[in-house]
Amino acid sequence: MVNSTKIVEILNNVTDKINDKKLYLTELDAAIGDGDHGLNMSKGFSAVSEKIKCDTDKDIGNLLKKVGMTLVSTVGGASGPLYGTAFMKASIYAKGKEEISIEDFIEMMNIAIEGIKMRGKAKKGEKTMLDSLIPAYEEGKKAIEDGKSPKEVLEVMKNAAYEGVEYTKTIIATKGRASYLGERSLGHQDAGATSSAVILSAIYDSL
């Protein structure tokens, strides 16, 4: 089980890892978008870490709601409202909970993904963050059903997310700025799918 103190620690690790990958994410976005994804994510998660620095609220729902609202209000690009929606949807599930299990986490992923799909009107296979998040969710759910430990489940999720990132190189973007390039988006990996994998990898490392 994970409490709000641990979640603050995990979120700070996410911020550190996103900051480490800032240039990389920006370069990926520059190839088929406008080159601001690393900057956007770094700005958003740095604001999140600042916001939750002195947070003493034990309710994980309240904490995640703050995260979502901070991302929506600080990130200019398309990714801000999408990641923001993901955290806000997950916060509804976590409302009133002072601890969450790996089963809770996978359910929150499911709800977050549904939120992203609705907000961005996208589905799997359109070269977006969903192409790493959906396989991570599906493989994580299977791993739980197979009786794997939380750490093993998160490892499976992280690996599935990075495989999803590789998959984005093989498909044409039909959503977001990269869709303006059509076939020229082939061969390039999606920046948002990559940041999602970075986030899952930071969660895995924190446990």
Q: What values do phi and psi take at 131, rounded to 5?
A: -75, -15
Contact between 29 and ligand ADP (CB under 6 A)?
yes
Contact between 13 and ligand ADP (CB under 6 A)?
no
Q: Which stretch binds ligand ADP (CB under 6 A): 12-20, 53-61, 97-105, 115-123?
A: 115-123
Contact between 128 and ligand ADP (CB under 6 A)?
yes
C-alpha 64/C-alpha 167 separation (Å) is 29
When computed from its CA atoms, the radius of gyration of the chain, rounded to whole angstroms, is 16
Interface residue with ligand ADP among 64, 129, 143, 198 (CB under 6 A) is: 129
- Footprint of Mg ion (CB under 5 A): 29, 33-34, 36-37, 77
Q: Which stretch binds ligand ADP (CB under 6 A): 9-17, 73-81, 93-101, 133-141?
A: 73-81
Segments of the chain assigned E as strands: 2-3, 99-100
Q: What is the DSSP string of 153-206?
A: HHHHHHHHHHHHHHHHTTS---SSGGGGGGGGGTTPPPHHHHHHHHHHHHHHHH
Contact between 175 and ligand ADP (CB under 6 A)?
yes
Cβ-Cβ contacts under 8 Å for 113 (sequence gap 6 or more): 86, 130, 133, 134, 137
For residue 127, the minimal CB distance to ligand ADP (Å) is 7
For residue 65, the minimal CB distance to Mg ion (Å) is 25
Interface residue with ligand ADP among 10, 13, 36, 133 (CB under 6 A) is: 36
Q: Give, in degrees to the nearest 5, the angle at Cα 191 between 85 and 179.
A: 85
For residue 126, the minimal CB distance to ligand ADP (Å) is 7
Give the closest residue to 95 by CA, choosing from 111, 80, 83, 81: 111
Q: Report what 82 binds from Mg ion, ligand ADP, none; CB cut-off 5-8 Å by kind.
A: ligand ADP
Contact between 155 and ligand ADP (CB under 6 A)?
no
Neighbours of 146 (CB within 10 A): 10
Q: Are 28 and 194 within 8 A, CB to CB?
A: yes
For residue 66, the minimal CB distance to Mg ion (Å) is 24
What are the residues binding ligand ADP (CB under 6 A)? 29, 33-34, 36-37, 40, 77-79, 82, 116, 120, 122, 128-130, 175-177, 190-193
